[in-house]
Amino acid sequence: MVDDRKLAVLRAIVEDYVSTNEPVGSKALAERHNLGVSPATIRNDMAVLEEQGYIAQPHTSAGRVPTDKGYRLFVDRLSQVKPLSGAERRAIESFLAGAVDIDDVVTRTVRLLAQLTRQVAVVQYPTLTSSTVRHVELVPLTERRLMFVLITNTGRVEQRVVELPEVVDEGRVAHLRATLNACLDGRGLGSVPDLVADLPERLPVEDRPLAATVLSVLLESLVERQDEKIVFAGTANLAGADFSVGLREVLEALEEQVVLMRLLGETSDLSALTVRIGSENPYTGLQGTSIVAAGYGSGDKQLARLGVLGPTRMDYPVTMGAVRAVARYVSQILAAS
Amino acid sequence: MVDDRKLAVLRAIVEDYVSTNEPVGSKALAERHNLGVSPATIRNDMAVLEEQGYIAQPHTSAGRVPTDKGYRLFVDRLSQVKPLSGAERRAIESFLAGAVDIDDVVTRTVRLLAQLTRQVAVVQYPTLTSSTVRHVELVPLTERRLMFVLITNTGRVEQRVVELPEVVDEGRVAHLRATLNACLDGRGLGSVPDLVADLPERLPVEDRPLAATVLSVLLESLVERQDEKIVFAGTANLAGADFSVGLREVLEALEEQVVLMRLLGETSDLSALTVRIGSENPYTGLQGTSIVAAGYGSGDKQLARLGVLGPTRMDYPVTMGAVRAVARYVSQILAAS
DNA sequence: CTTGGCACTCGGGAACACAGAGTGCCAGAT
DNA sequence: ATCTGGCACTCTGTGTTCCCGAGTGCCAAG
């Protein structure tokens, strides 16, 4: 009974603080929530909660504010993900349905998510390594140069210009193209390095330099894209909010692909809805912020992650609901195409 | 003689204000610049300059600040574009030289420009319409679906998934591919609509629905990309600066492709180094900001524009120098590849 | 036309007081 | 054992006042 009420108090503090952005005191709590006890009792509970590190007061004689630990407890045990309204769902669906290609899907998704949560949205492009090769194309540009294009089953296209070591005629290019496609078509990108390892040896000697050059570009493009592209939107939503640390640091972090990558991706379970709160964050520039992220992908395979970044003081149930919903809808869209 | 000195005073005011970010008074001017006259004389000049609208005072008994009109005069008549240092040039060159494809060029360019100017950099992707078709590829994905890929001479690749009206075999796809390439190879994108207009009629009747479907996708992808993609970087540089209008508005404008487009592009002469100062700006959310932009492209053809956006109070000579230099180097890179 | 002098204005910072919110603690009630 | 009301105390934030200094505009003299 006792502990139960303390948790209720913590929940009330989090909810009030999130909605008002002001430290919340015992009196206000007693009024706004019917906890059935007097302010004095609440004060006692708050003293305990503070001692345990769930809340803190900015100054003596100010109300209490949840700590990161407090938010953590709230997210883990005191809240439920809030589903979106029907109208919101329909809006999402129709907005995403209009996408024409993978770029468009990602762009629309990130904007949608930013608008929905009124925070900064971050979307990782689907990882190549878990998709498969649909087609490899070699297009001669000049005598000693060709365009290498790799198309995956997720609709993603990688292209590179390859400088050739020697003049090569159409026929040899066509042959290499056929060989490559026969070898790679439908295979997972992760297995490509193994598959092409002994390929030059299976070719006539005179074709080997050509093949080696093309393959090195192919492998390079795979490696390079493994830490994938990430896009974000909604930075304008940062303007109002105040973080413990400056706005500048947050914007800088957002432009660092690597940092973003780690924020979204450092989870073994790609599909889970993960929340990282304030100081749980590995990156110093993002102390005052929380990240809510989820995996998405077509079918059972999780291809990549998406999420939002906002002030620690955010409405976690709503945000988590939005992120989860968008992740699901994107997965649907990808599965359908 | 008289007017000359007034201009010198204006120049001094702009320079001091840009470097100190504080309204500049007559006494400080007389000390820091050797204008050879007393503060009182400068005051008289300043009164005239203010009457003519080149400067203004935030409050009575504060120093003067340049108006947009004042900056305009400064840029047009009182300043020279400042070339970059040799070290900076080399840094640019080596940084851009490592780019592997067109995406990479654009990404590197925008980051470089942001870092160089310590402002927000904006780069427009090379416009398709002024480039030419290098190759058209049709890749069957399933019986009723194929991937359409368009490669241009600038290394840009457009792809679309096409849903077919009927089951189509490899042979017919190959035939259409050959026809398309014969028809379009090497032609300007602008002329594509004309070139394909009567194409269905030149095909056997049974191929027409297929051709019509593919062509409609082709044309659509051209139209869609005509208002081109724009990327930006360096928003963290906005954090310190203060605009007359809020930071939020600026960030919002940056995420509006259309707005950015107009900012960069609304010039008949694509190649000129253009400066748009504060209220000269068509968009209300960007009043306190100036834009410095230049065209770039391979060879003589200007393909697109790039530039930076910063507070009206910026170092125009330096910024203009950086923008111009980067535009030139990017043009070189594009011409070489 | 320039200069030094002078009175005037106004913004911004320092000092100060004060109201209000919130706390902690204690003694009494349940 | 727990809750409650009361009470003294401690802050922050705000409003007020005051004053300094920078800067101006004007004027009369060089």
Q: Profile chain B (337 residues) by mean pLDDT over runs of 10 residues.
A: 82 94 91 87 93 92 92 94 94 88 88 96 80 82 83 76 84 86 82 81 84 86 70 90 79 86 70 87 86 83 85 96 94 80
CA separation, residue A139 to residues A41, A132, A231, B288 (Å): 77, 21, 30, 48
Question: Strand C nucleotides below 7 A of a protein CB?
Answer: 1-5, 8-11, 20-26
Nearest nucleotide (C1') to alpha carbon of A60: D11
Give the residue from A142, A144, A149 with the most B CB atoms within 10 Å of its CB, the best one to mutate. Answer: A149
Q: What is the pLDDT of residue A134?
A: 80
Which of B101, B159, B224 shows the shortest C-beta gap to A160? Answer: B101
Chain A residues with CB under 8 Å of B160 CB are: 100-101
CA distance A65 to A17: 7
User: What residue type is assigned to position A187 of the chain?
Assistant: R
Mutate to test the interface with B, among A159, A220, A252 (most CBs of B within 10 A): A159
Residue count (chain A)? 337
Contact B308, B319 (CB under 8 A): yes
State the Cα–Cα distance between residues B229 and A333, nearest whole angstrom. 23
Nearest to B252 among A141, A147, A236 (CB): A236
A103 sits within 7 Å of strand C by its CB? no
- CA atoms of A283 and A268, how far apart (whole Å): 19
Backbone angles phi, psi at A311, to 5 degrees: -65, 150
pTM of the model: 0.82
**pLDDT tens per residue across span A151-171:** 877 767 788 888 888 888 888
- Segment A88-108, tens digit of pLDDT: 999 999 999 888 777 888 999
Closest nt by CA–C1' to B44? D25
Helix or strand (DSSP H, E) at A59: none
> Within 10 A of B171 (CB to CB), how many other CB atoms are there?
8
What is the model's pLDDT at position B12?
94
Residues from A contacting B (CB-CB < 8 Å) are 100-101, 134-135, 137, 139, 141, 147, 149, 151, 155, 157, 159-161, 224, 233-236, 238-240, 246-249, 251-252, 254-255, 337
Cα separation, A12 vs A29, in Å, equals 7
Contact B234 A248 (CB under 8 A): no
